[in-house]
Amino acid sequence: MLPVLTRNSITNVCKGLRRFSSALPKSDTEVSKLKTEKLKREILEFRHAYPEFLPDPKIEFRNKIREKLERNDMVARRTQVDIPEFYVGSILAVTSSDRHSGGKSNRFVGICIYRGGCGLRAEFILRNVIDHQGIEVLYQMYDPSLQKVEVLRLEKRLDDKLYYLRDALPEYSTFDPNMEAELMPEGAPVPVNPIKVKLKPRPWLERWERQNLQGVQDLELPEKFYIKAAQVATPWEKYDLMKEYMRTIPVEEQTEIFSEVQSKLQSLEIDRKKLKRKRVIVKPTKLA
């Protein structure tokens, strides 16, 4: 007896055949697609550690040729001076040559309270309290007088800028200048320090109550300050899609930029890791 083929069964068989025939090449293309997607995502991850490689989003300041030349210069500078990954809230030690005393250098330890600028004009501010005096130093990241940048503690804070440390109690921005670098396990995510800072009583340098700060304890202000802050707040601004667009660089451009410098930056990172392994771990000494 021949099996009776209904229309449904025929179409099912056909579908099965089609699926079978398309299964092999499809899986191959899918795998390669997934691989490229993963690679793209990895490339885009560079934006956190190297934000200064992205150009200024302001359209008047854009110049593709200049940006490319600057990126080349930045990579060239990075082969001379090791500038490790750091974030606002990390504790850094910067050694720079002193132009007022030839042949000598200064080492300054402090917490990074700001990181900004792009291209060769990238900069960061370190803050510390030395002899009961708050000190802040602004370093140009690609300044040739910079000799060495060490990250003593790699961490993030709850805010993008820590300017409020200027009005905080001095204990929150006091760091030992002889601090040892803390070693972190390889491949671990950068920890976020959830510390809440206590501010000194008013008067302040800025109106902190209007800035929606996360890393600050209750400000203990009279009610009228909060009422005024609510009046001048602009809660609709987060919905302005075009303003958001004009503050960033689109994904396509970011991928292009980072795939251009990626191989060089990665080889620099590998060199740094090798150096780290070579370094002898010193027994920690008790600090003053």
Chain residues binding another protein by CB under 8 A are 44, 47-48, 51-52, 54-60, 115-118, 121-122, 234, 236-237, 239-254
Q: Do the beta carbons of residue 105 and residue 96 sit within 8 Å?
A: yes
Could you give the CA distance from residue 70 to residue 53 in angstroms, rounded to a whole number?
9
Give the SS3 label for residue 180.
Answer: coil
Could you give the CA distance from residue 58 to residue 246 in angstroms, rounded to a whole number?
7
In the complex, minimum distance from the CB of residue 104 to another protein, in angstroms, rounded to a whole number: 30
Distance between alpha carbon 116 and the CA centroid of its chain, in Å?
Answer: 10
Q: Do the beta carbons of residue 238 and residue 227 sit within 8 Å?
A: no
Could you give the CA distance from residue 138 to residue 131 in angstroms, rounded to a whole number?
19
Task: CB nearer to another protein: give 129 or 137.
Answer: 137
The β-bridge partners of 91 are 111, 153
In the complex, minimum distance from the CB of residue 213 to another protein, in angstroms, rounded to a whole number: 17
In the complex, minimum distance from the CB of residue 191 to another protein, in angstroms, rounded to a whole number: 18
Task: CB nearer to another protein: give 150 or 253.
Answer: 253
Q: What's the number of CA atoms in the CB half-sphere (13 Å) around residue 82?
A: 17
DSSP state of 284: P
Instruction: Collect all residues with Cβ–Cβ distance below 8 Å to 196 and sequence separation of at least 6.
Output: 215, 216, 217
Q: Do the beta carbons of residue 89 and residue 156 sit within 8 Å?
A: yes
Q: Do the beta carbons of residue 96 and residue 145 sit within 8 Å?
A: yes
Place of tokens 């601004």: 237
Q: Do the beta carbons of residue 71 and residue 89 sit within 8 Å?
A: no
Give the SS3 label for residue 152.
Answer: strand
In the complex, minimum distance from the CB of residue 72 to another protein, in angstroms, rounded to a whole number: 19
Could you give the CA distance from residue 49 to residue 83 in angstroms, rounded to a whole number?
11
In the complex, minimum distance from the CB of residue 223 to another protein, in angstroms, rounded to a whole number: 24
